[in-house]
Amino acid sequence: MIKNLYDRDFALWIEETVNCLKQRDTEHLDWENLIEEVESLGKSQRKAVRSFLVRLLEHLLKRCYVPMSDCYRSWEIEIRNFRQRLQIELDDSPSLKNFVLEILPKSYEMALENVTDSYPDVYFPDLCPFEQNVEALLTKKFWEQI
């Protein structure tokens, strides 16, 4: 019957699950779906981190390597926005800093593919030219060093 509630009315299932947890009523919890939902929270947060990182890297690459000075300001604004979004995720879950470093090479490949498609005449480094350091990725003005 509890599993049917999950399928029938998700909002009500959440309400009932929260009530059971608050009352420490483990006997009536829908463990299977609860575990699945908690796991999905972690997955969605990792997806958000990956997405923000790829977008950050795309804009860093454009700002550092695409010679279009009229676009610099808008790219810097996007860099700031994606840094802030990434920082919010990392503030909520500091352990994801390790995840950022783990996915950085693949995220760079994705960002590189995206900007190369958009700017086929511009040279972009095959290997990530940015420091493999979360704090640097979140704060450093790499374009001032290139």
Classify the C-alpha dihedral 40-45-48-54 as positive or negative. Answer: negative
In the prediction, which pLDDT does 4 show? 81
Residue 145, pLDDT above cutoff 90: no
Residue 85 vs residues 27, 70, 103: alpha-carbon distances, Å: 39, 25, 17
pLDDT tens digits, 75-101: 999 999 999 999 999 999 999 999 999
Confidence of residue 7 (pLDDT cuts 50, 70, 90): confident
- State yes or no: pLDDT of 112 exceeds 90: yes
Going from N- to C-terminal start, the domains of the chain cover: 2-144
User: pLDDT confidence of 3, banded at 50, 70, 90?
Assistant: low
Report pLDDT digits (tens) over 38-73: 988 889 999 999 999 999 999 999 999 999 999 999
Is the predicted pLDDT of residue 2 greater than 80, yes or no? Answer: no
Residue type, 5: L
